[in-house]
């Protein structure tokens, strides 16, 4: 199953076979809810080597100061799929390792362009979340940034292996149910920038108030909130009208009350709170907790 996760706190889980996206705490909060619980681990794939050139000749090689894959062996570098192989080949995952494979049969679509399968994407890219996506470095968001993407998909491979990839998700408006795709929900991607995106729900969907691991485990306008190291799906709400609004258009489920959250982009989200159990104290800021599912 593919799982999409945000780097840092809570992530996205993917909907089909092996994609995960770690979550990150962009909110800048100092409360308990904003603590980081990134699930990205391992030492494979990290690189701090100096810039150089590969098999492609003359092209700058990307480096990464933290792990971007758990794959530790293989003759080529997934972060530099074209430059680490001879011309006519690109670096791809083969089982639990990396290998140079032919570019024959690959498509012409570039990073961030819509796709229905890997064959539509150019060499070095795979179709993830219906967009052609490269392997990426979570430490510097490369090469995602060039096409307005985010390095927050963790693609699950054979066994426990994984690799980070870019996501290119459409923006949406919280509390307005604006996503139109099948099984898509609007969730927070980057709190620092008031960015919420449409993403398919994970294969491990959780109900409101239930434990979650990925951001897209939760439903429409919900947040996988980190509470003492455990993620819980919490409905977002309108502080000004939650007692009269329906769920998920600003209201809270039964036995919940809309509590103030401290968003780093509060000028845009100053009206958005979080539905917490009645009588419970504040959550100490909107923290990340899990990931989002993809198919």
**What pLDDT is recorded for position 281?**
57
What whole-number percentage of the chain has pLDDT above 70? 74
**What pLDDT is recorded for position 157?**
84
In this structure, is residue 258 part of a structural domain? Answer: yes
CB contact at 8 A, 193 and 184: no
């092209």: which residue's tokens?
59
In this structure, is residue 71 part of a structural domain? Answer: no
Q: Give pLDDT tens digits for 252-273.
A: 999 999 999 988 886 789 999 9
In this structure, is residue 107 part of a structural domain? Answer: no
**What pLDDT is recorded for position 239?**
97
**What pLDDT is recorded for position 156?**
82
The mean-pLDDT minimum among 11-20, 119-128, 131-140 falls in 11-20
Q: Give the number of other Cβ atoms within 10 Å of residue 59's Cβ.
A: 13
In this structure, is residue 212 part of a structural domain? Answer: yes
In this structure, is residue 183 part of a structural domain? Answer: yes
User: Phi/psi zone of residue 56: left (φ > 0), alpha (ψ -120 to 50 degrees), beta?
Assistant: alpha
In this structure, is residue 81 part of a structural domain? Answer: no
In this structure, is residue 158 part of a structural domain? Answer: yes
Q: What is the CA radius of gyration of the chain?
A: 19
Identify the residue with better confidence: 222 or 130.
222
**What pLDDT is recorded for position 59?**
60
**What pLDDT is recorded for position 262?**
87
**What pLDDT is recorded for position 57?**
37
- Total domains present in the chain: 1
CA neighbor of 223 nearest in space, from 248, 246, 243, 245 = 248
- Residue 59 tokens read as 């092209």
End-to-end CA distance of the chain: 7
Identify the residue with better confidence: 192 or 46.
192
CA-CA distance, 147 to 171, in Å (whole number)? 15
Residues 7-33, mean pLDDT to the nearest whole number: 36
The DSSP annotation for 212-245 comes to: ESBGGGS-TTEEEEEETTEEEEEEEEETTTTTTS
What residues contact residue 180 under an 8 Å CB cut-off, 6+ apart? 198
- On the question of pLDDT at 31 being above 70, the answer is no
- On the question of pLDDT at 49 being above 80, the answer is no
pTM for the whole thing?
0.66
Q: Please give the C-alpha separations between residue 275 and each of 222, 238, 248, 254, in angstroms, as whole numbers.
A: 9, 9, 11, 10
Strands (E) across 124-283 are located at 126-128, 131-133, 150-156, 162-167, 184-190, 195-200, 211-212, 222-227, 230-238, 256-260, 272-277
**What pLDDT is recorded for position 266?**
67
pLDDT band at 280 (very low <50, low <70, confident <90, very high): low
Average pLDDT, the chain: 78
**What pLDDT is recorded for position 48?**
33
CB contact at 8 A, 216 and 223: no
- Residue 55 tokens read as 């098999």
Q: Give pLDDT tens digits for 57-91.
A: 346 789 999 999 998 778 999 999 999 999 999 99
- On the question of pLDDT at 7 being above 60, the answer is no
- On the question of pLDDT at 9 being above 70, the answer is no
In this structure, is residue 29 part of a structural domain? Answer: yes
- 257 forms beta bridges with 276
What domain range is 259 assigned to?
1-40+141-295
Q: Give pLDDT tens digits for 222-254.
A: 999 999 999 999 999 999 999 999 999 999 999
Bond prior to 248 in cis (omega within 30° of 0): yes
Helix spans in the chain (H): 266-269
């Amino acid at each position: 199953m593919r799982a999409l996760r945000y780097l840092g706190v809570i992530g996205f889980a993917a909907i089909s076979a092996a994609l995960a996206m770690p979550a990150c705490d962009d909110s800048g909060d100092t409360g308990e809810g904003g603590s980081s619980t990134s699930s990205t681990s391992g030492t494979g794939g990290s690189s701090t080597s100096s810039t150089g050139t590969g098999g492609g000749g003359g092209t700058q090689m990307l480096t990464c100061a933290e792990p971007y894959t758990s794959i530790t062996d293989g003759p080529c570098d997934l972060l530099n799929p074209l430059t680490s192989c001879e011309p006519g080949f690109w670096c791809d995952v083969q089982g639990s390792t990396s290998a140079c494979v032919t570019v024959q049969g690959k498509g012409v679509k570039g990073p961030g362009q819509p796709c229905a399968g890997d064959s539509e994407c150019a060499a070095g890219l795979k179709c993830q979340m219906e967009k052609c996506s490269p392997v990426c470095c979570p430490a510097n968001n490369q090469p995602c940034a060039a096409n307005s993407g985010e390095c927050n998909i963790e693609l699950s491979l054979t066994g426990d292996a994984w690799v980070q990839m870019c996501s290119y998700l459409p923006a949406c408006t919280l509390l307005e149910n604006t996503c139109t795709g099948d099984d898509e929900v609007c969730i927070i991607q980057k709190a620092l920038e008031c960015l919420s995106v449409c993403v398919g729900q994970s294969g491990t969907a959780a109900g409101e108030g239930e434990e979650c691991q990925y951001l897209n485990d939760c439903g429409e306008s919900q947040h996988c909130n980190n509470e003492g190291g455990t993620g819980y799906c919490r409905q977002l709400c309108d502080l000004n009208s939650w007692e009269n609004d329906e769920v998920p258009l600003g209201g809270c489920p039964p036995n919940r009350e809309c509590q103030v959250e401290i968003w780093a982009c509060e000028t845009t989200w100053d009206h958005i709170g979080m539905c917490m159990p009645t009588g419970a104290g504040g959550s100490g800021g909107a923290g990340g907790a899990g990931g989002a599912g993809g198919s």
